[in-house]
Amino acid sequence: VDRSVVATGGEVGAIKLWRRAGDRLELMYVLASDGDPVEQIRLSANGRILAALRRDTRAIELWHLDTLPPALETLGLRSPISE
């Protein structure tokens, strides 16, 4: 993943992946949410793993981004199915 990808999370619990497009962001993908707000979110150095800390349950979720559907190829991730 290049630096044009941004991950966000918030009060509603959804985690969103965005692509920078000039001076704006385009929503590319929304990860499932159980409604527990996201307190912190981090991408690994190689951009393949996203970690999210949930506020209420204090659970840590790990998303292996390159195992998500092929739609994520638009973010520069390869689907293992297409390899």
Core vs surface per residue 26-51: b (16+ CB within 10 A) or e: eeebebebeebbbeebebeeebeebe
Query: How high is the mean pLDDT of the chain?
Result: 79
- The pLDDT value given to residue 42: 92
Q: Is the pLDDT of residue 53 over 80?
A: yes
The CA-CA-CA angle for residues 10, 29, 44, to 5°, reads 70
Q: Is the pLDDT of residue 80 over 70?
A: no
Mean pLDDT across 26-52: 87
Cα–Cα distances in Å, from 32 out to 28, 29, 40?
Answer: 14, 10, 16
- The pLDDT value given to residue 81: 33
